[in-house]
Amino acid sequence: MQTLLRTPLYERHVALGARLVPFAGWEMPVQYEGVIPEHRAVRTDAGAFDVSHMGELSVEGANARGFLQSVLSNDLDRIGTGQAQYTLLTNEQGGIVDDLIAYELEPERFLLIVNASNREPDLAWLEERAPGDGIELRDVSDDCALIAVQGPRALERLGLPEAPAFTFEAGELDGVPCTVNRTGYTGEQGVELLVESDDAAGLWDRVLERGVVPCGLGARDTLRLEVCYPLHANDITPETDAISAGLGWVCALDKEFTGADELRRIKETGPDRKLAAFVMEDAAVPRQGMAIEEGGEVTSGSHSPMLEVGIGMGYVPAESAQPGSEITIDVRGRPRRARVVKKPIYPREES
């Protein structure tokens, strides 16, 4: 068995009594006190997540921008230095190799924060397509840790001013230097603090001293599902195209990038199936892999701690993807009714 990797915060998780589980090759906290209280802390106050397992790839050089424009779906010319952008690494079929956030550090220097399990495949993908000179690609994941602090009171608790989403700047928290990214995966206001590995435990301690609740990956998953952020390898994969996944808004189809032709074709003809969000009408918890009778299957499913019902996402035939459509989920042999809803399942305005 392969040894699990540990983040610089591992000792902190153990000391806090976290339940640790294997995730994407890492030994990560799934919960501390419990998924539901942690989830609610993020929706009502502020929670902190160790997301240091995520990968950081550095792309720099005279051709860095032009190269990334040719492999990423979104248009980097829409952002400038100090701004970030949600984007996709796509294949020739328009499938999703990974979803990631690109940070423009300088006009020809970028940091890509990618999914943990895609760190090596992404780097290999980029290396294979990079022109011979003018590009330096480096995996800098081991140098840095990432702590997400999310929730309506996150900024207040950290003593940070408001700033536009998808911007970042060098900063510090109680003397610990870090980069403050205005990004997140919960649907709440908040930041992701990028910090040197050696400073990570100190930063984590400062965050918790300010009354932020430690949260595990269990709550991270239910939070992102309530707001319908896709999870790579579940909802989006190299076999699912960006248009069917509802990610056309991050595909700049007026530029050329890998798979753009195919994505333009799918957009033109309309996808056969779409990634729909649904809420259970019968009492049941949908789970990944369950069949949907109308066609397709559940790609993410769980219990919504805010709505207190089963919720999920899955690819369904386009005619069943309209909000209001009734679908039936095969819950271990039992047909259970669900209704397709508009995304997000849990709108923040309700909080």
Partner 1 sequence: MAAAESYPDDLRYHREHDWARIEDGEATFGITWYAQDSLGDLVHFEPPEEGATVTRDEPYAEVESVKAVSDVVAPLSGEVLEVNRAVVDAPEHVNDDPYGGGWLVRIRLSKPGEADALLDVAAYKQHLAEQG
Q: Considering beta carbons, is residue 119 or 303 the nearer one to partner 1?
A: 303
In angstroms, what is the minimal distance from the CB of 64 to partner 1? 40
Identify residue 93 by its one-letter amino acid code: Q
In angstroms, what is the minimal distance from the CB of 308 to partner 1? 8
In angstroms, what is the minimal distance from the CB of 22 to partner 1? 13
Residues at the site binding partner 1, with contacts judged by CB under 8 A: 30-31, 34-36, 218, 222, 283-285, 287, 302-303, 305, 308, 310, 332, 334
Identify residue 269 by its one-letter amino acid code: T
Q: Considering beta carbons, is residue 162 or 308 the nearer one to partner 1?
A: 308
Q: Considering beta carbons, is residue 250 or 309 the nearer one to partner 1?
A: 309
Going through the chain in order, the beta strands assigned E by DSSP cover: 19-23, 26-31, 47-50, 55-60, 84-90, 96-106, 109-114, 136-139, 144-150, 168-173, 176-181, 190-196, 213-215, 273-280, 298-303, 310-317, 326-331, 334-341
Q: Considering beta carbons, is residue 187 or 310 the nearer one to partner 1?
A: 310
CA distance 187 to 32: 21
Q: Considering beta carbons, is residue 78 or 332 the nearer one to partner 1?
A: 332
In angstroms, what is the minimal distance from the CB of 33 to partner 1? 9
CA distance 90 to 76: 15
3-state class percentages of the chain: helix first, strand second, coil last, to nearest 5: 25, 35, 40
Burial of 1 (0-12, 13-18, 19+ CB in 10 A): exposed
In angstroms, what is the minimal distance from the CB of 311 to partner 1? 11
